[in-house]
Amino acid sequence: MEEEIKSEFKSSGFDVEDEQEILRKCVTFCTNYSFTPSELVSSWEVYYLNRQLNEPVVESAEIDGFLLQLQNEKKEDSVKEREEGGLHMYSIGDVEMHLNNDDDTKDDTPGTPINHHHDLLSPSTDPISLMYENVLSSWKASKSKLITPFSKRTDRFSVKFSINTLPSVENGKQEPHHEYTENDEDDVVRRVPQRERCSLVIHGSGLKPCCKFMYDRMEDRLNAIENRIRKHTRAFVASGLYEEPTDPTSASQRSIFAVGMICCDAEGRLNEKSVMLQSSIEHSGGECVRLDLQRLNHYSIFPGQVVGIGGHNPSGHCFIASKLVDSIPIISVADENLNPLKKQAIDKESQSTDTIYKQRELSMIIAAGPFTTTDNLLFEPLTELLQYAKRRPPQLLVLLGPFVDSELPDIKKGTVDRSFDEIFHSEIVRKLEDYVERVGSGTRVLLVPSIRDANHDFVFPQPALEINLSDFKSQIVSLANPGIFEANEVKVGCCTVDVLKQISGEEISRTAADGKPIDRMSRLTNHILNQQSFYPLYPPAESVPLDFSLAPEALKLSLVPDVLILPSDIKHFVKVLSSESEGINNTKCIAVNPGRLAKGEGGGTFVELHYGGGSNLINASIVGI
């Protein structure tokens, strides 16, 4: 039967992650509930589509929730069949209902104590009554421990992937999971040596909370595109590697160099036949010309990408490209984002430039929402993450939204009995206040909002969350989306919009036949660095409320950060990237996609990162929650 189930999964286009364990569970289920392999896989396909899972892989975390749901459906069907036959089978739900009714109708008036010893020995007490009493008491005792698919997951805190170039740190060493009580947690926290608090400086002026949006005009959009093209043009000229750009729309037999933005000649996905180049108003009046890429051995382009193009336009209607440059040369000038006037120090310790932070060492735990599963609003994954962070406290806990995810079924349907702000403050902020109180002043928490947050402004770029804390103001901090901050002189950029997935859906590429295989995730992430923008895609995805009146400054990424955090629905990763600018020494950056902390009804992943002073000195682990 294992082979049949495996074959059914394969024919439906699914890979099995932990083959032996998952197939064993499936065989047991089929045997107990009289399912055939084809019926089981058909039900999995429905579950896969309903949960909107990303990859066609049967994972251990998902199969447990799936089998539990299927088991509940089977039981419900059997109950309906019995009821139709005039027979009602009492379930534990009925027991709970009667128990609650008994509790509600109890009279609190003091009365004569009951002699329980006499009752137990009375003839009216039979073994069946005693059995039900035991069932009721055990159910009441366990009522506080709700059994959810997330709580039944296996392989808790297992390392999915790790990189270790720090000789003094044992790679991938994780504590085995243990169910800690509150007192146990206090003991563990007391045993963990307190870390020294990291400095924290937020770069850029950022967007103010309650800023006006939805006021962008067509003029703002045109200016944003024009300014990007002109910025790239100035960088190409200043590098001394390229000639002065000219108009690519004019007919010319000689080879020229032009700068412009990649766009599509019609609505729909970009392809080789529909590629256009829009030049600046200064050079061509903003006109577009068709691009012929047949002579290029390799390229990777997407709409909105600003590139340098070498080639000629013999007819005036089609520019034949012989060279494509998709990265801006980095000019050695002071970036305005690094201007001291645009830095916001979080506390007085951060304002000093003592040598204590010059070692550029930093420990982080990075996790991206949603922070609760789709079947409830218990926020179990967040609770588990904070328990882990209590046992292994980092200097910086970076939490990226969504926190109150607008895609959750209960939020979408409006079936919650609290406001979104109340959910955020009771389930997120209060848990974080309790966390920093327990671990002490050596750990900071940084929150970055998402456009999927139901309790925050639906606009991108996005202002910081309004937390309004009376205590822990310097320990729990909110950052704009996207944002850049500096901790212990380690520069970190982050953006919660799924730009990697969106570029992946629009990009077209060609790889040289004799060239090395290129890692697609590295290529997608390099687009962000090469374009020096957190969101270079234009037009934006339909789900992104991009406001061009706010965008030009807020989306700018004029420096190569030490760490770039880009949470995405695509597969989690930690990669060391090199800047591809010509004529410049390669600048390395650590790119991190922590994945999602919760996936459907199961657990996801987060990243634990120790930065030891450079991209060649890191210890990073992707951990399954």
Whether residue 249 is predicted with pLDDT greater than 80 in this model: the reply is: yes
Q: What is the domain extent for residue 41?
A: 1-79
Banded pLDDT at 462 (limits 50, 70, 90): very high
Average confidence (pLDDT) over 536-548: 94
Q: Is residue 242 part of a domain?
A: yes
Contact of 576 with 360, CB cutoff 8 Å: no
CATH code of the domain containing 366: 3.60.21.60
Q: Is the pLDDT of residue 359 over 80?
A: no
Within this chain, do residues 269 and 371 fall inside the same structural domain, yes or no?
no
203 shares a domain with 70: no
Residue 403 per-residue DSSP state: S
The pLDDT of 552-578, averaged and rounded, is 91
Q: Determine which of 15-19, 125-129, 311-315, 551-555 has the lowest per-residue pLDDT on average.
A: 125-129
Q: Is there a domain that residue 378 lies in?
A: yes
Model confidence at 108, in pLDDT bands (50, 70, 90)? very low
| pLDDT level of residue 193 (50, 70, 90 thresholds) | low
Q: Is residue 260 part of a domain?
A: yes
Query: Does pLDDT of 349 surpass 60?
Result: no
Q: 368 and 318 in one domain?
A: no
Average pLDDT, the chain: 81
> What percent of the chain shows pLDDT beyond 70?
76
Q: State residue 135's pLDDT score.
A: 44
pLDDT for the residue 346: 67
Question: What pLDDT was estimated at residue 191?
Answer: 53
Q: How far apart are CA 625 and CA 604, in angstroms?
A: 6
Residue range 132-149, pLDDT digits in tens: 455 444 444 443 456 788
pLDDT at position 347 over 90: no
DSSP codes joined into one string, 138-165: HHHHTTTS---TTTT--STTEEEEEEE-
Confidence (pLDDT) at 468: 82
pLDDT computed for residue 301 by the predictor: 96
Q: Which residues are 203's β-sheet partners?
A: 343
Among 98-107, 311-320, 351-360, the least confident range: 98-107
Number of structural domains found in the chain: 3
Asked, for residue 376, whether it belongs to a domain, the answer is yes
Question: What are the pLDDT digits (tens) for 30-48?
Answer: 888 888 888 888 888 888 8
- 3-state SS class at 525: helix
Are 457 and 580 in the same domain?
yes
**pLDDT band, very low/low/confident/very high, at 356 (cuts 50, 70, 90):** very low
3-state class of 357 per DSSP? Answer: helix
Question: Is residue 7 classed as helix, strand or coil in its secondary structure?
Answer: helix
6 or 90: whose pLDDT is higher? 6
Backbone angles phi, psi at 79, to 5 degrees: -65, -45
Q: Is the peptide bond before 370 cis (omega within 30 degrees of 0)?
A: yes
In the numeric block, the tokens 């189930």 are attached to 5
Alpha helices in 507-596 (DSSP H): 520-531, 551-554
The answer to whether residues 481 and 594 belong to one domain is: yes
Name which of 50-64, 421-435, 463-477, 530-544 the model is least confident about.
Answer: 50-64
Q: Establish if 600 belongs to a structural domain.
A: yes
Q: What is the mean pLDDT of residues 159-186?
A: 61
Residue 137 lies in a domain: no
Same domain, 364 and 417: yes
- Say if 130 falls within a structural domain: no
Count, residues in the chain: 625
Residues 199 and 261 in one domain: no
Does residue 236 sit in the same domain as residue 288? Answer: yes
Residue 174 pLDDT exceeds 90: no
At 299 the pLDDT is 93
Last residue of one domain, picked from the residues 46, 79, 112: 79
**Which of 31, 55, 79 is the endpoint of a domain?**
79
* 184/422: higher pLDDT: 422
310 and 451 share one domain: no
The answer on 263 and 394 residing in a single domain is: no
